[in-house]
Amino acid sequence: MNLLHRWLCRSAHWRTQVEAEILPWALEGLRLDGRVLEVGPGPGITTDLLRHRARTLTCIEIDRRLAHQLSARMSGSNVTVRCEDATRMSEPDASFDAAVSFTMLHHVPSPALQDRLLAEVARVLKPGAVFAGTDSLYSRVFGLLHIADTMVLVDPAGLPHRLEQAGFIDPQVDVNPTGRRFRFRARRAS
pLDDT band at 164 (very low <50, low <70, confident <90, very high): very high
Digit-coded pLDDT (tens) for 13-66: 778 988 999 999 999 999 998 999 999 999 999 999 999 999 999 999 999 999
Dihedral Cα 172, 152, 1, 40, nearest 10 deg: 30
The CATH classification number of 3-188 equals 3.40.50.150
- Cα gap 118→121, rounded to integer Å: 5
> What is the mean predicted confidence (pLDDT) over 119-138?
95
Q: Is 178 exposed, middle or buried (0-12, 13-18, 19+ CB in 10 A)?
A: exposed
CA nearest 172: which of 185, 189, 155? 185
pLDDT of residue 49: 94
Instruction: Give the type of residue at 88.
Output: R
CA nearest 71: which of 61, 166, 25? 61
- Cα gap 113→19, rounded to integer Å: 29
Find the range with the poorest average confidence among 13-22, 67-76, 128-137.
Answer: 13-22
pLDDT mean across residues, the chain: 91
Find the range with the poorest average confidence among 42-51, 145-154, 160-169.
Answer: 145-154
Q: Are strands 125-136 and 181-188 parallel, antiparallel or unpaired?
A: antiparallel
pLDDT band at 145 (very low <50, low <70, confident <90, very high): low
Q: Is the pLDDT of residue 84 over 90?
A: yes
pLDDT band at 139 (very low <50, low <70, confident <90, very high): low
Buried/exposed 33-67: b ≥16 CB within 10 Å, e otherwise: eebbbbbbbbbbbbbbbbbebbeebbbbbbbeebb
CA nearest 2: which of 132, 110, 147? 147
Instruction: Give the type of residue at 93.
Output: D
Angle formed by the axes of helices 159-166 and 111-124, nearest 10°: 50
Of the chain, the percentage scoring pLDDT greater than 90 comes to 76
pLDDT of residue 52: 93
- Cα gap 102→183, rounded to integer Å: 9
- Cα gap 45→18, rounded to integer Å: 8
Residues present in the chain in total: 190
pLDDT of residue 82: 98
pLDDT band at 152 (very low <50, low <70, confident <90, very high): confident
- Cα gap 67→70, rounded to integer Å: 5
pLDDT of residue 123: 98
Q: Is the pLDDT of residue 79 over 70?
A: yes
Could you tell me the residue ranges of all domains in the chain? 3-188
